[in-house]
């Protein structure tokens, strides 16, 4: 393993990585990667899958490793919920549901196509509640060639049965300083690294992507201006919400461009190999969609974190000033921070983003 290329680009998770590298020698049938989004757990799961399929024990550079890491290996199957919970017919074949080979338990029974194993990666496994009983038996005793990798921030108590069937690999949430140091290692200047780490929402991948994004500083400034620009009028709040919403939409342009480039390169490669179409194209496009969704959510979370910090700074300034109006300012800013926190906690279930932003800004303009 000493010369492996796997797990190199995951900062701050030495213990988890060591555990995974040791597991490659004699893997079990189910692993739970527990840690916040952006902590590197998804990247680690992908590299672990590469290691499980690699003929060289996890080199990171052979064709099989390359395919897994690009998300186009036919034996690595990704799942995420279509809605707020995994539906039963996503997990197990049902009458009028998707065909068995698209369900999780159906895929668990399939023979690997190219490599020695089938790897099933279940993202947001904390949303398995409804379907957990249907998955449990397969998770306990899958065919010997199937390995499950479940990803979740954490498991709610009623999914303890699922968790107890898995080897748990824990990922810590990344501190901005860890991300900043990692960015500096990648050759990014100190000042930019600190600013990127602040806007990264604890996600090192996102920070690196933002480093290539010429509009990032502008978006950061927009969020920082919000408290000063809110003037108590409803029309200002609405306008500002629209402006922020549009900047969020534009934000993924950079990622979309990189994805288009990746698709072109892989298509050229496969043409050069004489293939009529790109194998794994559907998997690749699915991965791209997941990446965009994740990026946009993180962009919003990072923006809201910047906003909350502005109100916290105001609160501290008021405390220090000790003027007669200080207690009122502190109370109002505290309420603003709470309001922002509530929206963040609702985000995964709240796709109606423009409305939610408008409501938030209206509330903030009355509060502080």
Q: Which of 65, 179, 255, 368 lies at the binding interface for Zn ion (CB under 5 A)?
A: 65
**By CB under 5 A, how many residues form the interface with Zn ion?**
5
134 binds Zn ion (CB under 5 A): no
Q: For residues 62 and 136, which CB has a smaller minimum distance to Zn ion in the complex?
A: 62
16, 42, 44, 54: which one binds Zn ion (CB under 5 A): 54
Q: How far is the CB of 73 from Zn ion (least distance, A)?
A: 11
Segment near Zn ion (CB under 5 A), from 53-61, 146-154, 182-190, 343-351? 53-61
> How many other CB atoms are found less than 10 A from the CB of residue 232?
9
Contact 19, 168 (CB under 8 A): no
Q: Indicate the residue among 47 and 358 with the shorter CB distance to Zn ion.
A: 47
Binding span for Zn ion by CB under 5 A among 50-58, 92-100, 123-131, 200-208: 50-58
d(CA 227, CA 50): 46
**Is 266 an interacting residue with respect to Zn ion (CB under 5 A)?**
no
CA nearest 344: which of 288, 292, 315, 306?
A: 306
Q: Is 68 in the site for Zn ion (CB under 5 A)?
A: no
Those residues whose C-beta lies under 8 Å from the C-beta of residue 22, and which sit 6 or more positions away, are none
Closest CB 76 distance from Zn ion, rounded Å: 13
Give the nearer residue to Zn ion in terms of CB position, either 24 or 251. 24
Nearest distance, CB of residue 307 and Zn ion, angstroms? 44
Q: Which is nearer to Zn ion, 24 or 364 (CB)?
A: 24
- Applying CB under 5 A, does 150 fall inside the site for Zn ion? no
Binding letters toward Zn ion, positions 7-46, x by CB under 5 A: ----------------------------------------
> Which residues fall within 8 angstroms of residue 356, CB to CB, at 6 or more apart?
343, 346, 350
According to CB under 5 A, which one of 59, 204, 284, 336 is a site residue for Zn ion? Answer: 59
**Looking at 9, 27, 62, 359, which residue binds Zn ion (CB under 5 A)?**
62
Residues at the contact surface with Zn ion, assessed by CB under 5 A: 54, 56, 59, 62, 65
């Amino acid at each position: 393993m000493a010369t492996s290329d796997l797990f190199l680009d995951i900062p701050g998770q030495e213990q988890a990585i060591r555990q995974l590298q040791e597991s490659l020698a004699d893997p079990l049938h189910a692993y739970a990667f527990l840690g916040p989004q952006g902590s590197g757990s998804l990247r680690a799961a992908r590299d672990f899958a590469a290691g499980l399929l690699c003929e060289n024990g996890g080199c990171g550079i052979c064709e099989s490793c390359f395919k897994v890491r690009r998300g186009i290996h036919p034996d690595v199957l990704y799942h995420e919920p279509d809605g707020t919970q995994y539906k039963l017919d996503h997990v197990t074949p049902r009458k009028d549901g998707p065909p068995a080979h698209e369900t999780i338990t159906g895929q668990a029974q399939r023979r690997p196509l190219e490599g020695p194993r089938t790897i099933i990666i279940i993202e947001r496994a904390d949303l398995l509640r409804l379907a957990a009983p249907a998955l449990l038996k397969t998770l306990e005793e899958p065919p010997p060639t199937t390995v499950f990798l479940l990803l979740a921030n954490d498991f709610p108590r009623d999914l303890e049965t699922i968790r107890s069937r898995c080897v748990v690999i824990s990922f810590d949430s990344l501190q901005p300083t860890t991300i900043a140091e990692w960015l500096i290692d990648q050759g990014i200047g100190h000042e930019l690294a600190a600013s990127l780490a602040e806007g990264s929402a604890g996600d090192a991948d996102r920070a690196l992507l933002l480093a290539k994004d010429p509009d990032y500083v502008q978006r950061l400034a927009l969020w920082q201006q919000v408290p000063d620009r809110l003037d108590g009028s409803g029309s200002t709040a609405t306008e500002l919400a629209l402006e922020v919403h549009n900047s969020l939409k534009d934000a993924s342009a950079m990622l979309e461009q990189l994805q288009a480039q990746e698709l072109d390169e892989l298509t050229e490669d496969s043409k050069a190999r004489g293939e009529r179409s790109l194998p794994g194209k559907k998997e690749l496009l699915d991965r791209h969609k997941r990446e965009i969704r994740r990026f946009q959510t993180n962009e919003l979370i990072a923006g809201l974190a910047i906003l909350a910090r502005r109100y916290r700074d105001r609160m501290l300034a008021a405390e220090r000033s000790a003027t007669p109006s200080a207690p009122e300012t502190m109370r109002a800013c505290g309420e603003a921070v709470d309001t922002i926190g509530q929206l963040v906690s609702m985000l995964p279930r709240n796709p109606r983003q423009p409305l939610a932003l408008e409501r938030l800004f209206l509330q903030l303009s009355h509060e502080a």
